[in-house]
Structure formats: C-alpha cells, structure tokens
Amino acid sequence: MRIRILGCSGGIGAGSRTSAMLVDDDVLIDAGTGIGDLALEDLDSIRHVFLTHAHLDHVAGLPMLVDRVFDENFETPLTVYAREETLRAIQAHLFNDVIWPDFARLPSPENPMLRYHVCSPGDTVTINRRDFYAVDVMHTVPSLGFTVQNSGGAFAVSGDTKTNETLWPVLNACEVLRVLVIEVSFPDEMEQLANEAGHYCPRTLTRDLERLRHSPEIWLTGMKPGEEERIYEQVIRSAPDRSIQMLTRGTVLNV
C-alpha cells in the first residue's frame, strides 16, 4: 500500500492543510483541506472515503470532492464510510440543500452518485484486498480510528483521540503493524485544554505508547500550526526509544 499524506495539520495557514490521506489511488481517510492540492485526475480516481469523525477539519473538502467527481452517467458511486452519528451530521449540516446540494439524491434518489455506509466500531470493510477495520476512540464526538491491512502488512490511523482503552488492544493484536499515524494536538503546557478538547498532548501520548507491544514507525499528526516543533521535541524527549517522526504534507508511507 502507498499512503500519501495530503494534510496532517490541526489548522490552516502558512501552507498547512488539514487531515486527509490517500491510500493507493482510490481511498481517502478523512477529507480535510489537503485534498484540494490533488490533481484533477487524482480526484477523479477516488471512490471511497473513510471519515474518522464529523469535525470540519476532517470533512471540509468532502462537499467539493463530491461536486468534482459527480457524473450523471457514473459507473461507480462515491461511498462514504463512517459512524452513524457522523453520517447523520454531514447529511444534516453539509449535504442539506442549503450549505451544499444533497448529492445522495442526485442524479436521482433511486440511483445517487453519493452513497453512505455505516461503519461501526468492530466492522471490517474490504476494498480491493485491503481490510479497513474500525476502532472506537475517545474524542468529543463519536469517532473512529482505523487499521488497514493487506498481504504486505498493516498501518493504523488513530483519528482524533485522547487517552482511551480501546485503541491499544487493537494495535497490540495487529501482529503485522508497520506504521502508526497518531495525533498529538497540543504541547504539554496545554494538557488541560487538550484533555477537554479530546486530544493527546506529548505527556499523555507517550504514557499510552508504553502500552504498545510492537515497534512500528510512529508518525505524529494533527499538531496546531506554529506548535509543531515544540510538540515534536516534547514527544521525542518523553519517548527516546521509539521510532517517532513528524508527518508533513507530501510524505509518502509504504506498507
């Protein structure tokens, strides 16, 4: 698998893009502002979108993506996979014929271009020999992380989360885990805010990393713009024995 990082920031400005990663050429995990940098032919190849949750930094690009790929004579619809609560939110607040057209009714209600697929914690969706497994995580709204596995191994994406009891047993059960993409949004000086906002800070993240029995590459994502270097240094200092790197837009991970 080839995972192309389109956006990995907790905000915008100074070249930052929010959460989106392209798996091979047909699957997105999250649809933040990063998808806007894709070439038109790359956008047209996307037919599956997995959403971790409904917050704007993870869904902002979705309406424009649907508009781009819409075709009245489509062969393969665009399918969005997410928790029921997430799907309800984007239907009510994005695709509501006020903010954006309801593409789940176009070109016709009987045969829409945009489809929704409920993906609950514990569900596996298989797409072209890749297994996407949904994991419950702890955020301020119902949220998911994902492990993605094929014959070559697996990578995992935490989505937005703070300390939780659900992600780590799944990661430990994944014997072929090669890469872990995990969020850490605030520096340690903002630990209380991080906890209230449902995010890791370096102290809480590295404490949870002690539970991880494997030694995958660990890539940090979701850092607030301007705080990246401080957060990264705090993580490295707290977990010197781990292979930890900071994601940047354009990074390509191979599993």
Pair 68, 40: CB distance under 8 Å: yes
DSSP state of 173: H
**Cα separation, 148 vs 169, whole angstroms:** 15
Provide the token pair at 187. Answer: 């520096």
- Tell if the pTM clears 0.95, that is, is over it: yes
**Cα separation, 57 vs 33, whole angstroms:** 7
pLDDT digits over 57-116, tens only? 999 999 999 999 999 999 999 999 999 999 999 999 999 999 999 999 999 999 999 999
Say if residue 237's pLDDT is above 90.
Answer: yes
pLDDT digits over 53-74, tens only? 999 999 999 999 999 999 999 9
What residues make up the domain containing 159?
Answer: 2-254
CATH number of the domain enclosing 125 = 3.60.15.10
pLDDT digits over 133-176, tens only? 999 999 999 999 999 999 999 999 999 999 999 999 999 999 99
What is the count of structural domains for the chain? Answer: 1
- Give the 3-state secondary structure of residue 4: strand
Q: Is 203 exposed, middle or buried (0-12, 13-18, 19+ CB in 10 A)?
A: middle
Q: Which pLDDT belongs to residue 14?
A: 86
